[in-house]
């Protein structure tokens, strides 16, 4: 089969080719060609299902930086396969939907290029076995999602939403990188597989808990967990296909994947259990509670996504309790929470993507998403209504839809977790099912809002921008497929369980997988168990609260808007911007002298302070070679030239005196038997002197200003200190050699590089990358100069010049 590394690269190649392909296609929508990319990837991944279900895994490695243990290694197992199928499968449907959703007037080449870039980054995250390579792809998802969210960049809210998402997710990503580095330093490997194998030997390491906290911070920010959830609703300013893809099936799942993948590493720790479980349940409650107050359908779905992500996160946290005190027969019961998490992950991708597409259809058809302006659309949009009902009832946890099955398993998990006698669950464990049940009640309420306030009631045509009508068949294909999957999974859930979820469970609990069957038989009926009564309670109480919504919805006005997390974010951002402007205005005075003062003061404080702190001021010149008379003559001449520059009355005099100093250095190189350096110094000094003379010829007459005495004194003091520190550094380095000189290594240049000239070997072989980058810099500068020379003023500029 095709290498997984190639699967990761294909979307990036497609992103690079789309702009060129778009130029050669005029009659056919570019999306039809892009559609083949996720379809092909999905088919190739689907071919792995039988072998993965039988316990096989696949590893592919391409050496990158082997000396640091960083290689492009892809690892395909049950866990990564589930995410890969979601990314490519939903991605194909989103592209199909966007073909009909986006106008031909949009910049489609940019849209699909960004989408392919994001798809490749997500595949890189889930298939990377090396955590440092994973981080590279992780930040690529943040960058590509920024481009997608800001696709309609002419809108201020789109730009602000993209900025918020980037700032929060990248900040979490940086903390995650620090955690990865800590894990690497603890285990001396960056491979997931190797870390899982050897991590039990390092549970008591002082960096173990800090690494765990930093990695969790990265996962929480990416998956919009409380209190980092605020970026997700703002990101809904992106086009609906983007929302359907990024925030229901891909980007937000990256944090969930990270938690699942690191469960074998940190699972069993009390901090991991309570942070993942607690933050997940709080997020679930807050997301569902806040969703009820929304008047924009897309914002409602955004907060519902936050709630569903919290639900999945909490189940991963609860399942980690099974790893406490090693394997036991009773512990296997609690691994079923991870089974439910993976099951609901798949279910959520189906019904939430369908709901986003439905909202896009409504917005596209009637010109608004405002619930207060909608109503009675079921008659005019029957297919759209049917899909919305299927998706909403599934999210609410009602039969016969797949969300009912995974929600029942969620209730089972929070009820079973109370029986554990660890992590103080005997005291606080009762709170978990209570929070889960209350959050589920609010979930039921906002699902009813989507269905009944949008599609039932009075039709308000006068409040709509366009008369209601059913969407074109092409726009309905993708959501219809997702709606069919929602129902099909309900009737045939164990197909997913046996072929996808059980192998993924073996990845999360590798020790248990070798000792017992982690599979769970999914059934729609378990009898009148407590979880069923919880569901009945959700429906009854949820219905009553929905009917009386207008009476109790006033509670949302208790807390002022200024107390919201969005207001806190805006206040922090405004404070940072104001403070940075003040700091920048303080030192950016526009005077070169001030900038030089800052640079030299920094040098004096840092270098001088380091010399004093480390005791490096101790040196001796007793063993230095004697200074000849000619050396004194050249040195005194250079000193006189340097001092004379200060009193020069013209630029010409200053340039010539500066040349005296440069040529003096060249003479020293001659006396010290370094002819190559002397020649280089002479050439450079000659060229710079000529360039100075040519440049200053075109400048106005120089009028030397008389600076205040205080300024002169500061300049003199700084000059003396800088010169003194340079001399001390040179003497200290000469007499404080801590390591053996590397010159003996370069003396073997002929054996090492086949070069008879040591200098050439150093430039071209030993520091070849440095030389190459210097040449690249010169090339870029040359291109810039050439562009400026060849630049022709535009028509408007020519007219302005003529006037």
pLDDT of residue 737: 65
When mean pLDDT is compared across 53-67, 207-221, 598-612, 785-799, the lowest value belongs to 785-799
pLDDT of residue 488: 96
312-321 pLDDT, tens digit per residue, is 999 999 988 8
The stretch 114-128 carries a mean pLDDT of 95
pLDDT of residue 653: 86
The stretch 461-480 carries a mean pLDDT of 90
Structure confidence at residue 104 as a pLDDT band (50, 70, 90): confident
pLDDT of residue 655: 87
SS3 191: strand
The stretch 25-40 carries a mean pLDDT of 85
Smallest CA-to-CA distance from 278 within 289, 288, 290, 270 is with 270
Identify the H or E element spanning 63: strand 58-65
The stretch 432-448 carries a mean pLDDT of 95
pLDDT of residue 799: 44
pLDDT of residue 124: 95
Does position 189 have pLDDT exceeding 70, yes or no? Answer: yes
pLDDT of residue 146: 94
> Where does residue 739 rank: exposed (0-12), middle (13-18), buried (19+ CB within 10 A)?
exposed
Q: CA-CA distance, 358 to 381, in Å (whole number)?
A: 10
Does position 794 have pLDDT exceeding 60, yes or no? Answer: no
What SS3 string covers 577-640?
HHHHHHHHHHHCCCCHHHHHHHHHHHHHHHHHHHHHHHCCCCCCCCCCCCCCHHHHHHHHHHHH
Q: CA-CA distance, 440 to 766, in Å (whole number)?
A: 64
Structure confidence at residue 795 as a pLDDT band (50, 70, 90): very low
SS3 481: helix
Does position 418 have pLDDT exceeding 80, yes or no? Answer: no
Contacts of 32 (CB under 8 A, 6+ apart): 99
In a domain, 578, yes or no: no
Structure confidence at residue 704 as a pLDDT band (50, 70, 90): low
In a domain, 230, yes or no: no
358-414 pLDDT, tens digit per residue, is 999 999 889 899 999 999 999 999 999 999 999 999 999 999 999 999 999 999 989
653-691 pLDDT, tens digit per residue, is 888 898 999 999 999 999 888 888 899 899 999 998 888
Q: What sign for the dihedral angle of Cα 235, 239, 240, 243?
A: negative
Q: CA-CA distance, 678 to 684, in Å (whole number)?
A: 10
Q: CA-CA distance, 159 to 156, in Å (whole number)?
A: 5
The stretch 795-802 carries a mean pLDDT of 44
**Between residues 531 and 525, which one has the greater pLDDT?**
531
**Between residues 738 and 72, which one has the greater pLDDT?**
72
| DSSP secondary structure letter of residue 225 | -
Please list the residues that pair with 61 across neighbouring strands.
73
**Between residues 782 and 516, which one has the greater pLDDT?**
782
In a domain, 740, yes or no: yes
pLDDT of residue 541: 96
| DSSP secondary structure letter of residue 739 | S
The whole domain housing 635 covers: 592-769
Does position 527 have pLDDT exceeding 90, yes or no? Answer: no
Top mean pLDDT of 167-181, 422-436, 506-520 is at 167-181
714-729 pLDDT, tens digit per residue, is 888 998 999 888 888 8
In a domain, 127, yes or no: no
- What is the average pLDDT value for the chain, to the nearest integer? 88
In a domain, 558, yes or no: no
pLDDT of residue 750: 77
SS3 60: strand
pLDDT of residue 800: 40
In a domain, 728, yes or no: yes
Is-cis flag, bond preceding 780, omega within 30? no
- Look at the chain and report how many structural domains it folds into: 1
Q: What is the pTM of this model?
A: 0.82
pLDDT of residue 797: 45
What CATH number does residue 636 fall under? 1.20.120
Does position 787 have pLDDT exceeding 90, yes or no? Answer: no
| Alpha-carbon torsion, ordered 709, 712, 717, 722, to 10 deg | 170
Does position 209 have pLDDT exceeding 70, yes or no? Answer: yes
In a domain, 251, yes or no: no
In a domain, 257, yes or no: no
């Amino acid at each position: 089969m095709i290498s997984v590394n190639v699967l990761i690269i294909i979307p990036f190649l497609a992103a690079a080719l789309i702009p060129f392909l778009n130029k050669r296609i005029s009659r056919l929508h570019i999306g039809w060609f892009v559609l083949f990319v996720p379809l092909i990837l999905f088919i190739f991944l689907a071919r792995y299902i039988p072998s993965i279900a039988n316990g096989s895994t696949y590893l592919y490695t391409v050496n990158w930086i082997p000396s640091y243990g960083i290689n492009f290694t892809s690892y395909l197992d049950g866990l990564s396969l589930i995410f890969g199928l979601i990314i490519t499968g939903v991605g194909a449907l989103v592209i199909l939907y966007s073909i009909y959703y986006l106008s031909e007037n949009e910049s489609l080449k940019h849209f699909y290029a960004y989408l392919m870039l994001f798809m490749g980054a997500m595949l890189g995250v889930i298939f990377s076995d090396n955590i440092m390579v994973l981080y590279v792809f992780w930040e690529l998802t943040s960058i590509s999602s920024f481009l997608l969210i800001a696709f309609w960049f002419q809108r201020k809210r789109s730009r602000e939403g993209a900025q918020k998402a980037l700032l929060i997710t990248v900040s979490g990503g940086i903390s995650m990188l620090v955690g990865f580095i800590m894990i690497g330093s603890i285990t001396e490997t960056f491979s997931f597989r190797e870390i899982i194998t050897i991590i039990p030997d390092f549970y008591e390491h002082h960096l173990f808990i800090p690494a765990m906290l930093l990695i969790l911070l990265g996962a929480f920010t990416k998956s919009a967990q409380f209190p980092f959830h605020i970026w997700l609703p703002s990101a809904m300013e992106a086009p609906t296909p983007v929302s359907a893809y990024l925030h229901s099936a891909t980007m937000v799942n990256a944090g969930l994947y990270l938690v699942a993948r690191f469960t074998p590493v940190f699972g069993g720790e009390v901090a991991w259990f309570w942070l993942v479980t607690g933050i997940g349940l709080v997020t679930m409650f807050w997301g569902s509670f806040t969703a009820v107050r929304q008047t924009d359908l897309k914002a409602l779905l955004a907060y519902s996504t936050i709630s569903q992500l919290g639900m999945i996160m909490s189940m991963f946290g609860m399942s980690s309790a099974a790893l406490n005190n090693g394997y036991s027969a009773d512990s296997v019961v609690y691994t079923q929470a991870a089974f439910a998490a993976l099951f609901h992950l798949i279910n959520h991708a189906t019904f939430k993507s369908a709901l986003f597409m439905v909202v896009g259809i409504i917005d596209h058809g009637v010109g608004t998403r405002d619930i207060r302006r909608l109503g009675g659309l079921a008659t005019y949009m029957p297919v759209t209504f049917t899909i919305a009902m299927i998706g909403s009832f599934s999210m609410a946890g009602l039969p016969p839809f797949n969300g009912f099955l995974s929600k029942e398993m969620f209730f089972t998990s929070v009820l079973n977790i109370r029986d554990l006698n660890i992590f103080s669950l005997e005291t606080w464990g009762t709170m978990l099912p209570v929070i889960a049940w209350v959050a589920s009640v609010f979930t039921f309420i906002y699902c009813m809002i989507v269905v009944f306030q949008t599609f039932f009631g009075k039709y308000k045509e006068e409040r709509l921008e366009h008369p209601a009508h059913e969407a074109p068949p092409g726009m309905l294909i993708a959501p219809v497929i997702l709606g069919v999957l929602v129902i099909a999974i309900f009737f045939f859930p164990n197909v997913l369980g046996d072929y996808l979820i059980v192998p993924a469970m073996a990845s999360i609990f590798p020790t248990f997988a070798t000792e017992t069957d982690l599979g769970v038989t999914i059934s729609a009926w378990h009898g009148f168990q407590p979880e069923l009564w919880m569901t009945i309670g959700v429906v009854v109480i949820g219905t009553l609260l929905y009917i009386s919504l207008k009476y109790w919805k006033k509670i949302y006005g208790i807390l002022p808007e200024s107390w919201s997390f969005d207001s806190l974010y805006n206040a922090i951002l405004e404070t940072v911007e104001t403070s940075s402007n003040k700091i920048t205005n303080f030192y950016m005075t526009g005077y070169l002298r001030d900038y030089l003062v800052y640079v030299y003061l920094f040098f004096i404080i840092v270098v001088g302070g380091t010399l004093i702190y480390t005791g490096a001021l101790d040196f001796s010149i007793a063993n230095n070679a004697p200074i000849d008379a000619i050396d004194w003559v050249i040195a005194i001449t250079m000193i006189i030239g340097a001092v004379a520059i200060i009193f020069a009355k013209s630029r010409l005099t200053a340039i010539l005196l500066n040349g005296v100093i440069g040529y003096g250095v060249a003479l020293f190189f001659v006396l010290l038997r370094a002819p190559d350096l002397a020649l280089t110094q002479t050439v450079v000094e000659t060229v710079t002197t000529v360039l100075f003379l040519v440049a200053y010829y075109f400048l106005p007459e120089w009028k030397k200003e008389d600076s205040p005495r205080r300024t002169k004194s500061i300049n003199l003091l700084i000059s003396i200190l800088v010169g003194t520190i340079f001399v001390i550094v040179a003497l200290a380095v000469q007499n404080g050699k801590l390591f053996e000189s590397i010159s003996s290594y370069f003396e073997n240049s002929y054996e090492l590089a086949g070069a008879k000239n040591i200098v050439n070997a150093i430039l071209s072989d030993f520091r070849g990358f440095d030389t190459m980058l210097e040449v690249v810099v010169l090339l870029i500068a040359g291109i810039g100069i050439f562009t400026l020379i060849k630049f022709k003023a535009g028509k408007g500029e020519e007219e302005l010049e003529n006037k």
